[in-house]
Amino acid sequence: MKKINLLIAAACLAAVSMSCTKDDEIIPESGPLTVPLTVNIGTVATRATGVGSEDMTLSNVQVIVYNEAGRLEKSTNLMTNKTTLTLDVLPGKKTVWAVANILSKINESTIPSPADLSSKIYDLGNNAKNKLAMSGWAEKIVTLDDSSMELNVKHLACKVVLDGIKRNYTNQDYANIPLTVKKIYMSNVAGRCSFGCEGEMPSVWYNMLGDIPSDLSASVKALTVDDGLNISLAEGASYTTTHTFYVYPNPSVDTAVGGTWSPRLTRLVLECDYGGKTCYYPVSIPGPMVRNKVYHISLLTLTKPGSTSKDDPQNEVSSTISFSVQIKVADWEGDTSYTEQY
Please give the mean pLDDT across all residues of the chain: 85
As assigned by CATH, the class of the 158-341 domain is mainly beta
Mean pLDDT of 255-261: 94
β-pairing verdict for 72-75 and 121-123: unpaired
Beta bridge partners of 190: 205, 248
d(CA 238, CA 232): 9
Q: How far is CA 71 from CA 92, 108, 142, in A?
A: 13, 11, 16
Task: Say what the pLDDT of residue 179 is.
Answer: 97
Lowest mean pLDDT among 32-36, 206-210, 316-320: 316-320
Residues of the chain with CATH 2.60.40.2580: 35-155
- Would the pTM of this model clear 0.85, i.e. be above it? no
With a cut of 60, say whether residue 10 has pLDDT above it: no
35-155 fold: Immunoglobulin-like (2.60.40)
Residue 119, C-beta contacts closer than 8 angstroms, at least 6 positions apart: 194, 195, 196, 198, 200
d(CA 148, CA 87): 10
d(CA 162, CA 283): 11
With a cut of 50, say whether residue 77 has pLDDT above it: yes
With a cut of 90, say whether residue 159 has pLDDT above it: yes
Q: What is the CA radius of gyration of the chain?
A: 30
Instruction: Give the three-class secondary structure for 220.
Output: helix
Sheet hosting strand 158-162, strand order edge to edge: 243-247, 158-162, 293-297, 328-331
- Please write the tens of the pLDDT for every residue from 48-58: 344 457 899 89
Question: Comparing C-alpha atoms, which of 171, 175, 163, 164 is closest to residue 274?
Answer: 175
Task: Say what the pLDDT of residue 69 is.
Answer: 97
Are 202 and 264 in contact by the 8 Å Cβ rule? The answer is no
The 10 Å CB-count burial string (b at 16+, else e) for 245-263 is bbbbbbbbeeebbbeeeeb
Task: Say what the pLDDT of residue 341 is.
Answer: 61
d(CA 287, CA 199): 12
Task: Say what the pLDDT of residue 198 is.
Answer: 87
Mean pLDDT of 15-34: 49
- Torsion angle of alpha carbons 297, 299, 303, 306, nearest 10°? 50
Mean pLDDT of 233-246: 96
Burial status of residue 43 (CB atoms within 10 A of its CB: 0-12, 13-18, 19 or more): buried
Question: Comparing C-alpha atoms, which of 84, 34, 36 is closest to residue 63?
Answer: 84
